[in-house]
Chain A
Amino acid sequence: MAKVVFKLGDDISTDIIYPGRFMATVLPTETPQYAFADEVEINAKLKSGEIEPGSCIVAAKNFGCGSSREQAASCLKGYDLIVVANNFSRIFLQNSINLGLRTVIAPGLEAAEGDELEFLGDKIVNETSGKEFTIEPLPAARQAIVDAGGLIPYARQKLAEMRTLPPGVAHSR
């Protein structure tokens, strides 16, 4: 069960999630402090430590529009949040998958702050309202990265295939 800790609207941009002036900060251990830095209440609540890991942000359409800055995903991952939105902008969704930030696409979701959501395979049950909503599955190409544990282990596998030869096989020249 995951509690909805923030309910947000349409077009939440990466400038809101992680303002540009903190872009020189790159380490995933340091980015969470600037999550929603200009949304003072959200930022304070995140930093207070009272939010349970595995809690949810629920947003409407086009979450994460704007910049390719990966800090926007890493800062939320730092709090182990789940982001549920009607849909995501492409680069943010890809960054989240690459870094292992859990994103859930639920086009018709209705939920309010404080609601408890249960994720059951291809659907979300809002335990507070009793209503059910469909989850749009990730395309297979993206699911493969999630299954590998993120893009770094996935790319590491590919690298090993591309740059080394199987043991016992000699270079042929």
Chain B
Amino acid sequence: MGMTVVEKILARATGQAQVRVGDVVEPAVDLAMSHENAALVINQFQEIFEGTGLEPTVWDPSKIAIIFDHRVPAESSKTATNQKRIRDFVAAQGISKFHDVRADQGGICHQILPEYGYVRPGYVVVGTDSHTTSHGAVGAFAFGLGATEMAAVWALGKVLNVEVPATIKVVANGSFGQWVSPKDLILYLIGKISAEGANFRVLEYHGSAIRNMPVSGRLTVSNMSMEAGATAGIIPADEETELYLRREAGVTDDLDVVQPDADAVYEQVVEIDVAELGPQIAKPHTVDNVCGVGEVEGLKVQQIVIGSCTNGRLDDLEIAARLLRGKTVAKGTRMLVFPASWKIYKQALRSGVLADLADAGAVIMNSGCGCCLGVHQGALGDGEVALATTNRNFKGRMGNPKGEVYLCSPATAAASAVTGVITDPRKVGA
């Protein structure tokens, strides 16, 4: 019987010829990522060593990545002190993949990992962040876990007691219509299978729409697979993955391009024709509350947000600039832009994209998680509506339980910035 991608990766990571759904395995970890919550991981890590007489040293400092992104520059003394503790730990343990608050290396963890080639096809990647699913975009098995579980990984180099998950195959064929993008596809899928539709399962993506999608769009799809509850969202590696890793990330090593077997067993197959998709919107307060843009067109929006680990990449910013060039953000609406990494920030700066957005009235924020999780600038006022390219619209997400967050693609966000109300980008864009 054949294996899915996750089964193949877990078989390799445990030195077995074959694993099956439901098997309990302890896979070796290729990359372990944390952000500011490394402060909590450090506490738990030290506790594991208590009473053992062993020095608390990490299993392999070259396989740990720590990226400051959630609250940069620090929004409070508490965060600043956590960051200081983490810096000391990083230095003491010799952790090399560390990205501080710097414009020559910083950004959101889920952009930094692919951008620096830290994630590769076939890798087992874990992160203390639920959107670690992002890295399935390059063919890795990447999943989120909590701080204590990460502490155990730092100590042991493997994840304990992992059940091999079942896989749902998603086949997306066809070509996207104008101003329709990977974000619309993933919102549609989440709406279709629900916020728990893939809980404890892996989504594995196939079809011509995926094959023709650049890695930036694939990162959006894998990132938001989490919002269907998926453990991971894997896009089997292909020429595009290889091209990206070689050209963008400068990777020169051989790549382990893991493909599923032709007779792999899937729990379910979901087919989507993207040619039939229009712009999608996730309404408050769950990500699976999805509708076509037409249903909410005309709703007044006070804050437009373009950025995050979901849609803060160069092509996302370019789409926004194309729609806003020569126009202005509507009166009564504010627009915030935060690029996913400083590399992207500087590319958009040099190409003029950021100037175009700023000329239209958008506020360019520093690269990081920005207002996505409601901690660091860009909070909503009571009763205000935000339209955002981020990935979550939970109550309170943008810093105020009395605010409402709608999710959409960069094109829909930019078109709506011009009008000040939720707008179908196909009506604004030429």
Contacts and interface: CB of A to CB of B under 8 A. Distances in A.
Contact of A62 (B129, B199, B373, B375): B199
A16 B146 CA distance: 17
Contacts of A123: none
Given A62-B195, A68-B129, A70-B40, A155 B144 contact: no
B395 A98 contact: no
Given A15-B397, A62-B229, A155 B128 contact: no
Contacts of B61: none
A91 B374 contact: no
B283 to A, nearest CB: 13
Nearest to B70: A23
Contacts of B47: 152
Contact of B160 (A38, A62, A151, A163): A151
Contacts of B50: 156
Contacts of A13: 392, 394-395
B130 interface: yes
A26 B40 contact: yes
Interface residues of B, number: 56
Given A38-B401, A68-B144, A16 B161 contact: no
A26 B71 CA distance: 15
B82 interface: yes
Q: Is the contact region of chain B dominated by helix, strand, or loop, or is it mixed?
A: loop
Interface stretch (A49-57, A106-114, A125-133, A134-142): A134-142
A16 B395 contact: yes
Contacts of B144: 68, 91
Contacts of A70: 37, 40, 146-148
B145 A15 contact: no
Given A24-B78, A155-B152, A158-B160, A15 B130 contact: no
Contact of B231 (A71, A90, A98, A150): A90
Interface string B131-154: 010000000000011111101100
17 contacts: A13-B394, A19-B374, A21-B374, A62-B195, A62-B229, A67-B129, A95-B148, A139-B163, A145-B161, A151-B152, A151-B160, A154-B152, A155-B151, A160-B52, A160-B54, A163-B52, A164-B52
Interface of B: 24, 36-37, 39-40, 43-44, 47-52, 54, 70-71, 76, 78-79, 82, 127-130, 132, 144-149, 151-152, 155-156, 160-163, 195-196, 199-200, 229, 231, 286, 373-375, 392, 394-397, 399, 401
Interface of A: 11, 13, 15-16, 19-21, 23-27, 38-39, 61-62, 65-71, 73, 87, 89-91, 94-95, 98-99, 139-142, 144-145, 150-152, 154-156, 158-160, 162-164
Given A66-B394, A160-B54, 12 more contacts: A11-B196, A15-B392, A15-B394, A20-B375, A23-B375, A62-B195, A68-B146, A70-B37, A89-B199, A95-B149, A155-B155, A163-B52
